[in-house]
A and B are shown apart, each in its own frame.
Chain A
Amino acid sequence: MGEKYLLEMKGICKSFPGVKALSNVNLQLRAGEVHALLGENGAGKSTLIKVLGGIYHAEEGEIWIEGQKVNIDGVVSARNAGVSIVHQELVLVPYMTVAENIFLGREAGSKFNIKRRQMTEEAQKLLDAYEMHIDADTLVEKLTIAQRQMVEIVKAISFNARILVMDEPTSSISDKEVGFLFETIRTLTKKGVGIIYISHKMSELEEICDRVTVMRDGESVGTRVVKETSKDELIAMMVGRELTNYYTRDFQNPGEVILKGEHIADGKMVKDASFELRRGEIIGFAGLVGAGRSETMKAVFGLTPDMKGSVYVEGQQVHIKSPVDALKYGIALVPESRKEEGLYLVQDVQFNSTIEVLGQFIRNFRVDYKKEEEITQKYIDMMATKTPSQQQIIRNLSGGNQQKVMIGRWLATDPKILILDEPTRGVDVGAKAEIYAIMNELVKKGMSIIMISSEMPEIINMSDRVYVMNDGRVTGCLSHEDVTQEKIMQLAAK
């Protein structure tokens, strides 16, 4: 066998009715390494992890841990084999203390006499060992998302896990908290724990991971040492082709000012934001989480009751009191969190595509079903959305395709001004590139786009100008020629 691995998954196959989810997947994890698992949505990462965690049972293939063949046929046997998973959705009980959560289901003492103090002490010992400054006696609901994640990790470790899987651990925490998470990861690897790290963010790979295995269409495409590979190579492995033009943007001379906001404030997070948007232009809004970017746009869009400041559309002052008003002036907003603010998850693609434009096909108790289908198809084609049919329930589409349906829904209102809030969050690289290309097409045709984004590369490459916000104020505006990551950070942290 040559080298002895901590974990070896060989030739794993797993099918669901009608789909081959995994075919002949191989993965090797060394002790003390952080091993990234990379792939587009639907590439089979989650399925592989579920096989490892005992949630799914693979039809073929072997799992070896420390040179021993193991049979994982359930969550308990996975745990006994030393495998622990920190899920993307955190599964702590909010109204219990940290200690109670860590020992949930295996409380100290007897069934009717739980020894709380002993539990709390043991939990505290664990927390301190990993230098997490968390009190074991606090209620989980009082913790930040990042702290909850730490508790999840400690909980996983407390099962004496030697193999730890982290599923997109940084998707909902701030940069500072990411630093802290990485420190914890380094402490763990020093103790010989092997970590499988799932993430979409390339920058994190370089910072924390040793090796990376790329998956595509249910197969493992290859494993690389992070230091010896490049971002381009990894992306090419993920999408199966070279992405020559990741960012498509033909800069042009923008036209007249089409939207202007002056001294916008919402009495809470937005204190003083002014900006100008010209025809045929993309402006970016950069800043840290909580800087008030989304809130500024919500105020413009009529979603904030006590909005202060003035908004001008094509030179005329307008009073937008509700999204209906905003649509009337040709403004559309694709919100930040698809699932909470955008999608009707139990409904199909058609319903989700046409809810803004019912007036085009429902009149006088008559529904023009053909028209409805045409509208839906038009935006499926325009956005290159991949869906088996218009009747597909939207929950079953991938994040990228959901986002495309969302953007299509708002394009159907034929807006002059399109506000995109984090348009590529949770979207795989292939779909990202497609969304950028569509944005480019739209502005070429004279639409104007405001893009709020926390991803620096996309802000820098796509925007004509970048407004930076900090603590509810616009602290600066950088033109495309001037903009750099450093300049944005200076303004964002001013």
Chain B
Amino acid sequence: MILKNLLSEKRAAILERWFEMVLDSYPVDTSSFLKQQKNQFANPVGAAISQGINGIFEELLSGKDSDTISTFLDNIIRVRAVQDFTPSQAVAFIFHLKKVIREELEKEISENQLSDELFAIEARIDKMAMLSFDIYVKCREKIYDIKANELRNMTFRLLQRANLICELSEPEQALIDSKNLNVKRKEVTK
């Protein structure tokens, strides 16, 4: 795999450009902060992106499909899912990698006729993009869950004290779950 070797050689340049491109999606004042502040606790967003793209790149080179890739993608997407981005903007960073690779290795790819290898690498990036979309949706669903849970928790004790909630036996609970219902209302007979 000539291309993999080239990618490995140019790792530093590719990662730097990719990092810059991701940060360019933020306002100028913000991106300069995200780039300059190196302390991971003072700058968790910059750290998540930097560590995340490093990890993703390593996974790409390794050629293996592992769970680790989801973790790296999750660390970045979880942040971008609550920032000022549309869904497509939030996950667009993964496609930037294609652009960076093509631009950084343009000469080598044409000289060595590596289009097949490039296609294989890009197919892997596309797969990561699909995974990214799944992660993004999960993050947003989590937000909706948290909102719903907060409301439920706020009223739970009140309903409990007012005797409007009943405990379910396990078979009953299984029945409810199977019908995709979470709450069973007890009729007030008073």
Q: Do A and B bind each other?
A: no
Interface residues of A (CB under 8 A from B): none
